[in-house]
Amino acid sequence: MKQTIRKILAALVLAVSVLGLTACGSAASADQQMEYDQAQLQSVTDYLITLWQSMPEEGLRQYAQMDKEDIQMMLDAYGLPFTADAFSTAFAGYAGSVEELGAYVSTDGYEEPEVKGDEVTFAANLTYEKRTARLSLVFNKRGVVESVTLDPKYSTGEILKKAGMNTILGMGTVFIVLIFISLVIYCFNFIPGNRAPKQEEKPAPKPRPAKKAAPRHPAHGHGDGNLVDDGELVAAITAAICAYSGTSAEGFVVRSIRRAEPSRWKKD
C-alpha cells in the first residue's frame, strides 16, 4: 500500500515539474517576441507616402530604375530605413499604378501591426482619386523595411472585365498561333522537293470494237461482170476449173465471174 502511494506521489511531482517547465518555456518565448515602436512604423509609412506625392512620374521611374549600389549609397547617406530592393520595388510598384490610382487624397487609417517571427507588418489604407489602396510595409527586427506592397482595390465589375480581357487575349493568341502554323504547313506544298510525287493515273483501256462478221457472198458473181471481192471464193473456183480441165493455174487468169443461165446447166 505504501509503495503504491509513493508511486502516485512521484507521478504527481513529475507532472508538476513538466508543467513548470512548459510554463517557463512559454514565458521565455513570450519574452523573446519582437518589440517594435508603432509610432516609428507609422512615421516611416507616412514618409514613403509623402515622398511618392512629391515626385513627378519621371522621378518615380528614375528611382525604380536606379542601380542597387547607388540606391544603397543614397539610403546610407540620408539614413533611410529601407533595403535597396524594398526601395526600388516600392517606387516601381507605385509608378506602375499611378494611372489607375490617380491623385492622392488622404490616409484613412492604419491597421494593427502583425508580428511573425522576426518581422512585423504595418499597413495603411489610402484613398486616391480613382480608387482606394492598401499599403503594407514589412520591417525586420532592426526596424528596416524589407518589402513594400501597394494593392489597389478594384470593384467586382472591374475584376470581371479584366478577367474577360485576359481570357480573350489568351485564346486569341492561341488561335492566331495555330492559324500561322497551319499557313506555314500549307506553304510547304509550294517548296520544290518537298512535294511527294503524284502517281500518274493511267487512262482506262478503251473497249475494243467488236469484230464485224465477214459478209457472206453468194457462190456466184455479180451481174455486172465484176470480180467478187471474196478472194477465197475466187481461189476455190480457180482450183475447180484447173482440176476439171487438167491445166495449171498459171496458164490462165480469172478476170470475171458471171452467173450462168439455168437452161445451160440443164442441157449439159
Tens digits of residue pLDDT in 30-73: 344 678 889 999 999 999 999 999 888 888 888 888 888 999 99
Tell me the C-alpha distance between 180 and 235, whole Å. Answer: 84
The pLDDT of residue 224: 47
Q: Quick one: what percent of the chain has pLDDT higher than 90?
A: 34
35, three cell numbers = 518589440
Tell me the C-alpha distance between 64 and 184, whole Å. Answer: 42
Residues in Cβ contact with 176 at an 8 Å cutoff, skipping those fewer than 6 apart: none
The pLDDT mean for the chain works out to: 76
Tell me which of 208 and 89 has the higher pLDDT.
89
Tell me which of 215 and 39 has the higher pLDDT.
39
CA dihedral 58→59→63→65, nearest 10 degrees, is 20
Where does the chain show beta strands of DSSP type E?
A: 104-110, 114-116, 119-128, 132-139, 145-152
Tell me the C-alpha distance between 101 and 93, whole Å. Answer: 12
Q: Indicate the residue type of 111.
A: E
pTM for the full predicted model = 0.51
3-state helix, strand, coil in the chain (%, to 5): 55, 15, 35
The pLDDT of residue 48: 93
